[in-house]
Amino acid sequence: MQPDLIIRGQRVVLPETVAPRSVHIREERIVFVGDYDDVVAGCEVVDAGDSVMMPGLVDTHVHINAPGRTEWEGFHSATLAAAAGGVTTLVDMPLNSIPPTTTLSGFEAKLETARGDCFVDVGFWGGVVPGNTAELAPMFAAGVVGFKCFLVPSGVDEFEHVTEKDLRVAMPELTRLGALLIVHAELPQSIKTEVVGADYQSFLASRPRVAENDAIALMIRLSREFDTRVHIVHLSSADAIPMLREAQAAGVKITAETCPHYLHFTAEEVPAGATEFKCCPPIRERDNREELWKGLRDGTIDFIVSDHSPCPGEMKLRETGDFMKAWGGIASLQLRLPIVWTEARHRGFTLLDVTRWLCANPARQVSFDGRKGSIAIGHDADLVIWRPDTQFTVTPSTLHHRHKLTPYAGEVLSGVVQQTYLRGRKIDAPGGQMLLR
Ligand SMILES: [Zn+2]
């Protein structure tokens, strides 16, 4: 079969090995993976040389905030940033948009907004909020990949958090559907609202590890009771890793992700007043960071996603530096690959580990693993070519995020993306598909 294009290189990351290979592409898909020298007469060949060729990244935790709060990000800027960062598939969170994706009509409004404006392929989470159980089946049938809930106030009024009582109504329906429930796991009763001070240490003390630990214990218990698949988003408290490990070993259907900021920064190093470091749950101490890396090493933590959560710069209250009042959220969609690679290589991890965490495992979480997240025959030809040994200093003006305020400004990272291919094409226009389950 004559391919349309062959992309080859000396360091192609396959599921089990990194080796010289040629990737043959026809009608947007990978049709053959051959030796480096397997080329076909008359077919265009792109040679990546000694750059790394990896599957396009999959980021299943992105807040795009459109429609309704498009001034916070929007599909156009978010997906352009994704493409620049080697991300070819992202999944949008159901909140911060108005309407939120908690009803079928909300999902339809979301699709209407996204369609035609995306540089990469995009999927969608629905939301579980008090009283919307009847909307779950219609949204799932219409193509959301699963559902998110919050156990604490989400930060926006139109996406209410749930209590155990609400979950006892929603979870049997999720199990019936076979749908995954992803959970912002902090419990309100352990969050301290009466803290003195507005500096980083006060903020950190207000959202202690125990708020996460107790929430995760609750979700393990409910997952076991209702046999619902549960996934803990943005795990920050490493104290919860042993109980997750134990639950997983006992057959509870519970998984977890963490985020680049918890793996890169430490609470000890947050500069005074630097509210761009605020996110919930918070960046914790150095020892906690190292325990998160151990959780990745032993597989208790399944993957790393950005939790790209932007807002207009003024909402960060940089002038007062008030951590208690500033919006919580870190935008890092474009930077996930170099942040994770920089930290991972220092700890002895390989390109295979990073590809599992950034591509294959997130694709599997949302059941896109038949076509996304691996360089394999039959998969979409989503590829990123990048230079792992080239360092750069993060310069906010080079970010395509709508708002440039970032805690990564000035950080020196390794890993420069050279080219991103979406279904066999260099990305130069909004040609992304809506990925419906
Ligand atoms: Zn989030």
Contact in structure between 430 and 79 (CB atoms under 8 Å): yes
Segments in the chain below pLDDT 50: none
Distance (angstroms) between ligand 1 centre and the Cα of 305 equals 10
Residue 255 CA to ligand 1 centre (angstroms) = 16
Question: How many angstroms does the Cα of residue 328 sit away from the middle of ligand 1?
Answer: 10
Confidence (pLDDT) at 258: 98
Q: Tell me how far apart the alpha carbons of residues 114 and 131 are, in angstroms, rounded to a whole number.
A: 26
- How many Å lie between the centroid of ligand 1 and the Cα of residue 131? 22
What is the distance in A from the centroid of ligand 1 to the CA of 63?
6
Whole-number Å distance, alpha carbon 299 to ligand 1 midpoint, is 22
Q: Indicate the SS3 state at residue 142.
A: helix
Among 115, 140, 45, 123, CA closest to 88: 123
Question: Which DSSP symbol is given to 432?
Answer: P
For residue 402, what pLDDT is reported? 92
pLDDT at residue 117, rounded to an integer: 96
The total of other beta-carbon atoms located within 10 Å of residue 141's CB is 12
Q: How far away, in angstroms, is 427 Cα from ligand 1 center?
A: 26
DSSP letters, 335-381, are: GHHHHHHHHHHHTT--HHHHHIIIIIHHHHHTT-TTTSSS--TTSB-
Residue 219 CA to ligand 1 center (angstroms) comes to 18
State in Å: Cα 301 to ligand 1 middle.
Answer: 17
Residue 303 Cα to ligand 1 midpoint, Å, equals 15
Average model confidence (pLDDT) for the chain? Answer: 97
From ligand 1's centre to the CA of 225, what distance in Å? 26
CA of 34 to the centre of ligand 1 (A): 39
The DSSP element (H or E) to which 403 belongs, if any, is: none
Q: Cα(95) to centroid of ligand 1, in Å?
A: 9
Tell how far the Cα of 165 is from the centroid of ligand 1, in angstroms. Answer: 23
> How many angstroms does the Cα of residue 309 sit away from the middle of ligand 1?
6
How far is the centre of ligand 1, averaged over its atoms, from the C-alpha of 58 (Å)?
Answer: 15
What's the pLDDT at 196? 78
- How far away, in angstroms, is 61 Cα from ligand 1 center? 6
**How far is ligand 1, taken at its centre, from the CA of residue 124, in Å?**
13
Q: How far apart are the CA of 154 and the centre of ligand 1, in A?
A: 9
| Ligand 1 midpoint to CA 167 (Å) | 19
Q: How far apart are CA 180 and CA 100, in angstroms?
A: 18
- Distance from the CA of 308 to the center of ligand 1, in angstroms? 7
Q: How far is the CA of 329 from the centre of ligand 1 (A)?
A: 8
- Rounded to the nearest whole angstrom, what is the distance from the C-alpha of residue 229 to the centroid of ligand 1? 19
Q: Give the distance (Å) from ligand 1 centre to CA of residue 21.
A: 37
Task: Give the whole-angstrom CA distance, residue 64 versus residue 70.
Answer: 8
Cα 96 to middle of ligand 1, angstroms: 10
**pLDDT for the residue 103:** 98
Joined together, the tokens standing for residue 252 give: 């509870």
What residues sit around ligand 1, an ion, with C-beta below 5 angstroms? 307
From the CA of 217, how far away is ligand 1's center (Å)?
20
> What is the pLDDT, as a whole number, of residue 192?
86
Cα 287 to ligand 1 centre (Å): 23
Contacts of 249 (CB under 8 A, 6+ apart): none
Distance 377 CA to ligand 1 centre (A): 33
Q: Residue 258 CA to chain centroid, in angstroms?
A: 9
| Predicted local distance difference test score (pLDDT) of residue 194 | 79
Q: How far is the CA of 397 from the centre of ligand 1 (A)?
A: 24
Q: How many Å lie between the centroid of ligand 1 and the Cα of residue 260?
A: 13
Distance 307 CA to ligand 1 centre (A): 5
SS3 404: coil
Q: Which residue is associated with the tokens 């996304």?
A: 372
